[in-house]
Structure 1
Amino acid sequence: MDDASVDFKQAAAADAWATPIEALNPAQATLFEQDAMWPIFERLRREAPVHWSPPNNVYDGFWSVSRYQDIMAVDTNHDAFSSADGIAIQTREAKIESDKRPRGSSFIGMDPPGHDVQRKAVSPAVAPHNLQILGPLIRERAGAILDGLPIGQEFDWVDLVSKELTAMTLATLFDYPQERRRELTFWSDMFTNAPGHGPAKSWEHKREEADACFAAFDVLWDERVDAEPRFDLVSMMAHNEATRNLGRRDFHSNVVLLIIGGNDTTRNTISGSVYALNKNPDQYDKLRANPGLIPSMVSETIRWQTPLAHMSRTATRDIELGGKTIRKGDTVVMWYVSGNRDDAQIENPNAYVIDRERPRNHLSFGFGIHRCVGNRLAELQLTIIWEEILKRFPEVRLTREPQRTHSVFVKGYETLPVMIPTRN
């Protein structure tokens, strides 16, 4: 870590503890990009676990929920906390842009009963039986990706491994042309990045690429709606009674959800596992000595990384939480990234421990009706890639600090420079 980064983190920590608690604001993308947001959440958990952030020049006001049990209380109470107004906080600028175009609703942005029937339409794609079919294909692809990596020279793990494996799997789920699989990765980054970050150059650029994505998926819908049913996500939506009559905007919203959901969690946890093991060499030694710890390591990484930092809800009525009264219409942000470091729930939560007693005791997949529909697929891909890594490489060595994502929603990596010194 260079001196500038150390200085930034020290200044951010000092500011987190010196700022009056009522003015504390955790929604700062620059802090997430520098991995410097932790002191804010530590203070919130300690002093104001249900905390109101007043409006500022970036966001409207919102409640921050930072403790594990309080997050669970919100996430499992869909009657009092609705997803219908969105599942991530938006900047004021993003809201203005969003309001310029009519929007549809994806099932994650719906409450029951609409949510339940639309989710059920696509869930067979990640059911246990289909995962058994996908497993050997994922393993074959993971092996080919790893066998093609350079030895003894620096390369970007995000680009050559994390993006590549998840793009292949996502293209299979959509039955999207494999030769165009990186379009899915690109569109995911366009949807989740603000202009000036990632590939997004401007709001106009984001709109153009969204239209290109929707046009491509409209072609797939039109091809499959009158064809024999197939076992891919588009065909499932086109033939299921609950979704075959979706308006195009609602179809597009579900496409966005499935692209982002199928990309970000797995991709950023694959990268996060390499980073975490390098920063905790004793745990890397433990894993090499006992590959049977891979499933536990995968769950610990999903907790430790927390690839989606938050989800938000809107209160449907006045309700008390943590001694505070949340008013009807208020935005409530569940900071999964904070709940996963809550020492009231998780022992020694800041440590990365791959043989932790209860490694799946984390919030990263959410809870209740909106629990990540593809969580088992994410775990499967992560397990397979690490089984194949350990067969081939005694070490994947971090060479420089990563470039992290500029976002308070996606907690990930833009680049992760590594070198593989030698093969087994």
Structure 2
Amino acid sequence: MRLTPGPPREIDLDGVDLFDLDLYTEGDPHPVWDAMRERAPLHHQVLPDGREFWSVTRFEDVCRVLGDHREFTSERGTVPTHLGADDVAAGVLLTSTDPPRHTEVRRPLGAKLTARAVKSWEDSIRRTIVRFLAPALDGEPFDLAEQALLLPALVTGPLLGIPEKDWAELVQLTAMVTAPSDPHFRTGSEAATLAIAHHELVTYVREWVLSRRKSGFEDDSLLHHLMNVRPGGAPLTDEEIALDGYSILLGANVTTPHTVSGTVHALMERPEQFDKAQADPTLIPNLVEEGLRWTSAACNFMRYAVDDVEIAGGTIPARGAVVAWIGSANRDASRFPDPHTFDITRANAKRQVAFGFGPHFCIGAPLARLTLRVFFEELLQHFGSIEPAGEPQHLRSYFIAGMTHLPITAQKRRTP
């Protein structure tokens, strides 16, 4: 998906197809979202197969849909790939569960992922990122987007309790879930790709749990911690652990790589921003926030209206599916002046909703922010310049905004 919009053009909102994968792979959805925010903040679309959904694109409406589980439930599915068929794991899978159960499972896990808790991992993360960036410093072409797909596993694999030999396979499987139509990850049809990936990921966590129970081995990993969570006072079943572990693996792997590559691409397009961050490292935390806003890697989330809901000047009927477009909310000019300008000094960049909003706000946000901050600290310290070495290739997905290829060449920074 293009992150820098092309020139303005006339948009026929009656003919817009928000499920057109070409719009995100080769096209430019931002002018479409701009027009929707202005002229159709509640947009209704019926797909050729009869499935229908409503879309909200303004910042305040996106926050309302994601923030109020009494009006908009997660317990029928939360991603557009489930549209038309209720999620069979709804009410159990962490991402497809409403409070209070969602809170009871999430709270003890969240205690392991606070900003204070993850601070102790900073040195380890820094060593990992230094090793990750080292091959790019020889001046040869380096495909940042392709290599970055593995970056979250390098960082979170040890924290999750996942052995290194399994990282690459799990990254591939999580990519298959979030971009089942992309030729890099597709295996047969889109439906087959989703089914295979879902089965393999759930089976992996289930077998991980069984092996831990048999061995009696205990550690401080997040997956092991999940085995001790007791919502409502009762322990999770192995199947519930497997499904919630699946949620954690997805959350750990699917967005950070695309935030990295999209933000680096923005800096290559705007070398003055690169120079500004390099000259003043105190800007790096805000660079991270602007990168999150700019890329909005989790492009949308879906909910279902519990009853008829009036919103954005219209009505979503009871049980109607509504897609909250995060990529649009983060370019809403009423919240982010001059929203299509990438500006690392933006005063309110941290108000972005790239991590979601409300009960399902990303549980791993503190770890993601730490990883991104350390990544750009190391990149700006060691890289004197970054240049494109080929055209980026965009992910074929209407759920995750990202890249599969971003060839770059880098020059080492000269020390005084």
- Tell me the TM-score normalised to structure 2 length: 0.91
1:258 and 1:87, CA in 2 relative to 1: closer, same or farther beyond 3 A?
Answer: same
Contact 1:23 1:54 in 2 (8 A): no
In structure 2, distance between residues paired with 1:264 and 1:239: 26
Letter in 1 for 2:141: E
Q: Match for residue 87 of structure 1?
A: 78
Equivalent of 2:321, from 305, 313, 331?
Answer: 331
CA-CA distance at 1:249 after TM superposition: 4.2
Task: String of CA shifts for 1:186-205, please: whole Å, max 9, x gaps.
Answer: 11112112245332222445
Equivalent of 2:279, from 269, 289, 312?
Answer: 289
In structure 2, distance between residues paired with 1:276 and 1:239: 42
Letter in 2 for 1:234: L
- Secondary structure, in 3 states, of the residue corresponding to 1:421? strand
Matched, 1:111 2:98: yes
In structure 2, distance between residues paired with 1:317 and 1:233: 36
In structure 2, distance between residues paired with 1:109 and 1:291: 39
Q: Match for residue 154 of structure 2?
A: 168
Task: String of CA shifts for 1:269-295, please: whole Å, max 9, x gaps.
Answer: 111111010111221121121121110
Letter in 2 for 1:76: G
Number of residue-to-residue matches in the alignment: 407
In structure 2, distance between residues paired with 1:196 and 1:164: 17
Letter in 1 for 2:36: L
Q: Match for residue 203 of structure 2?
A: 215
Q: Match for residue 311 of structure 2?
A: 321
CA-CA distance at 1:339 after TM superposition: 0.8
Letter in 2 for 1:397: E
Equivalent of 1:236, from 200, 225, 247?
Answer: 225
Which stretch has the larger CA shift, 232-241 or 243-252?
243-252
1:80 and 1:103, CA in 2 relative to 1: closer, same or farther beyond 3 A?
Answer: closer
Which stretch has the larger CA shift, 236-245 or 188-197?
236-245
Q: Match for residue 179 of structure 1?
A: 165
- Secondary structure, in 3 states, of the residue corresponding to 2:355? coil
Q: Match for residue 350 of structure 2?
A: 360
Letter in 2 for 1:115: H
Letter in 1 for 2:98: D
Matched, 1:124 2:111: yes
- Secondary structure, in 3 states, of the residue corresponding to 2:76? coil
CA-CA distance at 1:343 after TM superposition: 0.6
CA-CA distance at 1:119 after TM superposition: 1.0
Equivalent of 1:260, from 250, 254, 264?
Answer: 250
Q: Match for residue 28 of structure 1?
A: 20
Q: Match for residue 122 of structure 2?
A: 135
- Secondary structure, in 3 states, of the residue corresponding to 2:324? strand
CA-CA distance at 1:104 after TM superposition: 7.3
CA-CA distance at 1:328 after TM superposition: 0.5
Q: Match for residue 187 of structure 2?
A: 201
Matched, 1:342 2:329: no
- Secondary structure, in 3 states, of the residue corresponding to 1:52? strand
1:279 and 1:51, CA in 2 relative to 1: closer, same or farther beyond 3 A?
Answer: same
Matched, 1:157 2:125: no
Map 1:45-64; keep pairs closer than 5 Å: 45-57=37-49, 60-64=51-55
In structure 2, distance between residues paired with 1:126 and 1:111: 20
Map 1:363-382; keep pairs closer than 5 Å: 363-382=353-372
1:390 and 1:150, CA in 2 relative to 1: closer, same or farther beyond 3 A?
Answer: closer
Q: Match for residue 212 of structure 2?
A: 224
CA RMSD of aligned residues (A): 2.4
In structure 2, distance between residues paired with 1:186 and 1:103: 24
1:208 and 1:86, CA in 2 relative to 1: closer, same or farther beyond 3 A?
Answer: closer
CA-CA distance at 1:248 after TM superposition: 4.4
Which stretch has the larger CA shift, 312-321 or 395-404?
395-404
- Tell me the TM-score normalised to structure 1 length: 0.89
Equivalent of 1:251, from 241, 244, 262?
Answer: 241
Matched, 1:274 2:264: yes
CA-CA distance at 1:245 after TM superposition: 4.0
Contact 2:209 2:238 in 1 (8 A): no
Letter in 2 for 1:407: S
In structure 2, distance between residues paired with 1:363 and 1:206: 27
- Secondary structure, in 3 states, of the residue corresponding to 1:394? strand
CA-CA distance at 1:127 after TM superposition: 2.0
Matched, 1:191 2:183: no
In structure 1, distance between residues paired with 2:182 and 2:384: 38
Task: String of CA shifts for 1:33-56, please: whole Å, max 9, x gaps.
Answer: 124111211110110111111232
- Secondary structure, in 3 states, of the residue corresponding to 2:254? helix
In structure 2, distance between residues paired with 1:356 and 1:314: 34
Contact 1:225 1:238 in 2 (8 A): no
Contact 2:293 2:353 in 1 (8 A): yes
In structure 2, distance between residues paired with 1:102 and 1:331: 17
In structure 2, distance between residues paired with 1:336 and 1:367: 10
Q: Match for residue 300 of structure 1?
A: 290
CA-CA distance at 1:83 after TM superposition: 0.5
- Secondary structure, in 3 states, of the residue corresponding to 1:199? coil
1:54 and 1:104, CA in 2 relative to 1: closer, same or farther beyond 3 A?
Answer: same
Q: Match for residue 41 of structure 1?
A: 33
Which stretch has the larger CA shift, 404-413 or 233-242?
233-242
Which stretch has the larger CA shift, 134-143 or 239-248?
239-248
Contact 2:135 2:142 in 1 (8 A): no
1:246 and 1:269, CA in 2 relative to 1: closer, same or farther beyond 3 A?
Answer: same
Contact 1:238 1:244 in 2 (8 A): no
In structure 2, distance between residues paired with 1:322 and 1:215: 42
Contact 2:53 2:323 in 1 (8 A): yes
Letter in 2 for 1:44: M
Q: Match for residue 78 of structure 1?
A: 69
CA-CA distance at 1:106 after TM superposition: 1.4
